[in-house]
Amino acid sequence: MSDKKKNWPLWEVFVRSKNGLEHRHFGSLHAADAEMALENARDVYTRRNEGVSIWVVESKHITASNPSDNGELFEPAQDKVYRHPTFYDLPDEVKHM
Amino acid sequence: MNQNLYHYILTIADTNLILGQRLGELCGHGPSLETDIALTNISLDLIGQTRSYFQYAASLFDEEKTEDDIAFLRKEREYRNVLLVEQPNTHFGYVMARQFLFDVFHLMFLRELENSKDETLAAIAKKGIKEASYHRRFSSDWIKRLGDGTEESHTKIQEAVNNLWRYTNELFQMTEADVAMVKEGVGVNLEALKEPYYETVSEVLKEATLEVPERKYFQKGGKEGIHTEHMGYLLSDLQYMQRAFPDMKW
């Protein structure tokens, strides 16, 4: 496995743990193709009854934000508290908000 | 005690146990982390099924016996597993060929055993079918990958299939216990599975661009307790703890 070219590509695994919930990122693994990635994901991530559905996507297809851009991407949102819907007085009768 | 039923359960259970042990040997030695975990999962599925069978077998005795007594305290000649599953791991091709040649049979067998008049055996079979279906899918996929892969993987998997082929016919050998259990509506008529088995296996092999071996002479003996030279070493590993520390618990 030391020769990098011989490594299987990396895949990201998303598992839905219950019907009605969304798929969540569980981790990653190596596999030769999508079919093998699904089987590997089943064996590695759902062996303790964690899931009802699995998605796999090859890691190279994910475009990620660059940590060095965090300033311009995320900091402007830090002082905009008015974007949170917390300025309403809710009547007591309204539950679960 | 119903000796035929006991022997019948042993053949099924020992075959699972010994294959589970063989796969267990690979824990930490798989070709990749993912495959390692997959093989260990299969091993644990098989050993889980074995426990159910042995618990049932233990309940047949008048005196008190446990699943552990049956699993660990018999002598080589008293194990009734088929020869196929005791064959060593040699290389990954052997592991997959052995698994595939067993899985195709195992699934067919459980689907029949599910209809057994013996409710316990039927229930164990029913539970095992989903596990065995996945095993078969996993090993069939690997046969195709290796067969239709590189020149080297093709050669190696073909060699493994050729060498293990001689043990396939024993899967369908009817022992005295088999005949008696079929008569009672408890056991599976193995001979009826033979043709569909070789058909399914041949289909997968062809899809994997592999040759179906033409061998007409087959090995047998496991079901009567006559094993290959590999069995003693396997049992010395399997039984070590119980032999060194009798009645140990953990």
Q: What is the band of A27 on the pLDDT scale with cuts at 50, 70, 90?
A: very high
SS3 A28: strand
Per-residue CA distances from B43 to B147, B187, B201 (Å): 24, 25, 22
Long-range contacts of A27-34 (CB under 8 A, 24+ apart): A28/A59, A29/B33, A29/B34, A30/B32, A30/B33, A30/B34, A31/A56, A31/B34, A32/A8, A32/B145, A34/A58
Q: Which of B38, B134, B137 faces A40 most closely, judged by CB atoms? A: B38
User: Which chain A residues are closer than 8 Å to B37 by Cβ?
Assistant: 43-44, 47
pLDDT of residue A5: 62
User: To the nearest whole angstrom, how far is the Cα of B38 from the nearest Cα of chain A?
Assistant: 5
Q: What is the C-alpha separation between B84 and B174, in angstroms, rounded?
A: 16
pLDDT of residue A3: 52
Q: Which CATH code of 3.30.420.40, 1.20.1260.10, 3.40.50.150, 3.40.50.261 fits the domain covering B3-211+219-244?
A: 1.20.1260.10
Q: Token pair 């052997």 is at which residue?
A: B94
SS3 A49: coil
Q: Look at B37 and A47 and tell me if their CB atoms are within 8 Å.
A: yes
Using a CB–CB cutoff of 8 Å, tell me whether B32 touches chain A.
yes
Give B101-117 pLDDT, tens digit per residue: 999 999 999 999 999 99
CATH of domain A1-61: 3.10.20.520
The number of CA neighbours under 13 Å toward the Cβ of A45 is: 27
The number of CA neighbours under 13 Å toward the Cβ of B188 is: 25
Least Cα distance to B128 among B50, B220, B223 occurs for B50
For B206-234, letters b (16+ CB in 10 Å) and e give: eebebeebeeeeebbebbebebbeebeeb
Q: What is the C-alpha separation between B63 and B119, in angstroms, rounded?
A: 23
Is B197 in contact with B172 (CB distance < 8 Å)?
A: yes
SS3 A25: strand
pLDDT of residue A4: 55
Q: Which of B32, B38, B141 faces A30 most closely, judged by CB atoms? A: B32
Quick one: average pLDDT of A15-32? 94
Q: Which residues of chain B have pLDDT under 50?
A: none
Q: What is the band of A1 on the pLDDT scale with cuts at 50, 70, 90?
A: very low
Q: Look at A36 and B38 and tell me if their CB atoms are within 8 Å.
A: no
Per-residue pLDDT for A26 more than 70?
A: yes
Quick one: average pLDDT of A25-46? 95
Q: What is the C-alpha separation between B201 and B210, in angstroms, rounded?
A: 11
User: Which chain B residues are closer than 8 Å to A35 by Cβ?
Assistant: 141
